[in-house]
Structure 1
């Protein structure tokens, strides 16, 4: 009989009911516009296929990814909803996307060349979404390039090579709702849509809004919104008060509990010394799993409903927390420490980590990796267990 491999000592539990709930919240905020759930980067580290299914159950009608590979993964899983991919090289062969009915963004004239060639070679009409640079100055067709690209799109549509589903763009300041650049970007995309429609392109579904704009600007007048981080229950602005539920809980096993004498240094470099006799717990996660070394001495974990501070440096595989001189005697090896989660009962959150790191919670949840397994839970049951896999 083969030996039993122990489960991963740290894990990201994904609450699919929370994802579905958040999708319903976003549908309500969309003001009648369709919702494209952004599930790029393996659904922000939450698992692209199960999250996509939960978002669709919650009322989303389309899915957004970056790469063609991400889109084809969803198709391979049997998902037949509308999927848009918007990050690929002009030198890429886009036939697989066209043949799988994946919509492709067109962020430059060279990308249009690529998609037209794929349509010719596959013998199928490509569904395309021209991406306009309305002010982010990242990828996108410039306003100066747009008239010439529009001419080519009109000709390609007449020739049966493409169907223009609509135009898209990305905001630069949506997380700062009063910024005047937002209004300028909205006006520019509306102008480009009007120009396309004047040339006979229907452009039925246009979109600019990310999570922040979905929750703060439902009146922008486009036919679709494209939320990402809010789908995972994280507030894109920080104080919107939207009814969102964080979907990821990152936790780890307690490896051991031990007493320390006053003056004992802890972990590499002894950057912390016990100020008195105390008890510490060793937590089975480190920077190889997504616990940032820069958080050393700056993070708390939740154990049995109480918060305990990290002491000493975070290591590759583990870190230490101080249980205090008179600890809860029921805490023992094998118990669970919550690194971040919903914040219920005052527990730690991904937003707290982001504040300490001087970054955004997007980066925190997508950084959970390495040995961390990913468990998907649906209505209290494990929907897909990946106890040996990673939480990319």
Structure 2
């Protein structure tokens, strides 16, 4: 989206050089394993296609998306690297993805059957990767418990479909439940369950090209889980997936998003003035209030009301009162500020501004949610690479 400051009071500045740097750092962490940059959810709010291009320029071997539409957008943008998409509902049209050489994650027999039909419709062999649930109890064919498992049934069906020539099973993958707590016993138990799942697939005659389970947290903290490929997402954007163990700088990651708005209205108020809906904040001394036209409709969490700060007038200033649909109020104290002044909501933190992690802690959530929330009313402006004008 083009940014016109006359009609957009806020924007998110995305540093593509930071994306390339982060991918390089993660590649080094991955050792001999390939690296898939996961760009699902519009690249965690950073912009699907520009970020994907930057990630590939930084050394990503693969790209990953949750949804079919995201994967097809990447192919339409002429990104030709190997590409996996894995989270689908019954009735999805797989034919365009098969035709575009997109790997399809399959978690259940119905998904395999629909991919087989799409292969027949296109006259091509579909590339399939089997998703195995090793303990997260979410997406994937369940591989735990006694007796015949859902995953074993899926492997047999996939082997039969491959023998018929409709699919080629090229991978098996899973997802950690506790990768952000690398000493948790489930991390080891999932690695062992995944090894069993891989062995089962290989005994069924499936010649796997890629076996993968490491997300951002595991890429940074559990190197023995790398297998053939790692799948970092959040860390590509420069945010720490394990803030209890280290911040972005500790892992040599550079946060790529800086959220910026501008002051619309200023007013001097006395002590005792209630601010915003419900007067949940009351001034304790004469102060200047700055109204900023960005709110929860744009992605500002309502839970940062009276809890988070922004950078304004050379210092961090608190959000005063409730976050509204379209605006927030900042207590600027006695600072010299003017209408139109820039307000940095959060950024890398190198200039003193709050970070996405600071906002996450204020809102009682995770930094993933902070950057992903920003919607279409907040244009993305790219610097440091293609499309930035630099």
TM-score (norm: length of structure 2): 0.93
Please give the alpha-carbon distance, in whole angstroms, between the structure 2 residues aligned to 1:152 and 1:299. 52
CA displacement, residues 55-108 of structure 1 (integer Å, 9 cap, x when unaligned): 111111111101111110111111111111101123222111101111100101
Distance in 2 of aligned mates of 1:168 and 1:257: 54
Please, which moves more after superposition, 301-310 or 30-39?
301-310
Matching residue of 2:171: 166
- The reply on whether 1:26 has 2:26 as its aligned counterpart is yes
Aligned to 2:356: 350
1:285 to 276, 291, 294: 294
Task: Determine if the alignment matches structure 1 residue 333 to structure 2 residue 339.
Answer: yes
Q: Secondary structure at the match of 1:124?
A: coil
Counterpart mapping for 1:233-382 below 5 A: 233-238=238-243, 239-240=245-246, 241-324=250-333, 326-327=334-335, 329=336, 331-378=337-384
CA separation of 1:117 and 1:274: change in aligned 2, threshold 3 A: same
Question: Closer, same or farther in 2 for the Cα pair 1:261/1:222, shift >3 Å?
Answer: same
Deviation at 1:235, TM superposition (A): 0.4
Contact 1:247 1:342 in 2 (8 A): yes
Structure 2 CA distance for partners of 1:108 and 1:312, relative to 1, 3 Å: same
* SS across alignment from 2:268: strand
- CA RMSD, 1 decimal: 1.7
In the alignment, what sits opposite 1:80?
A: 80
Compared with structure 1, are the counterparts of its residues 29 and 303 closer, same or farther at alpha carbon in structure 2 (3 Å cutoff)?
Answer: same
1:183-194 aligned at under 5 Å gives the runs 183-194=188-199
8 Å contact kept, 1:285–1:318:
yes
Structure-2 separation of matches of 1:210 and 1:93:
27
Residue 5 of structure 1 and its aligned partner are, at CA, apart by 8.1
8 Å CA contact retained: 2:14, 2:380: yes
Contact 1:290 1:370 in 2 (8 A): no
Aligned partners of 1:135 and 1:185 also within 8 Å:
yes
State the distance in 2 between where 1:56 and 1:229 align: 16
The alpha-carbon deviation at position 382 of structure 1 amounts to 5.6
Q: CA deviation at 1:152?
A: 2.3
Equivalent pairs, count = 378
Which residue of structure 1 aligns with residue 162 of structure 2? Answer: 157
Rate the CA distance shift 1:93–1:323 in 2: closer, same or farther, 3 A: closer
Paired residues for 1:109-258 under 5 Å: 109-143=109-143, 144-238=149-243, 239-240=245-246, 241-258=250-267
- Retained in 2: the 8 A contact 1:31–1:219? no
Separation (CA, whole Å) in 1 of partners of 2:102 and 2:359:
36
Gaps of at least 5 residues in structure 2 are 144-148
Q: Deviations over 1:279-309 (max 9, x none)?
A: 2211121111111222111111102431111
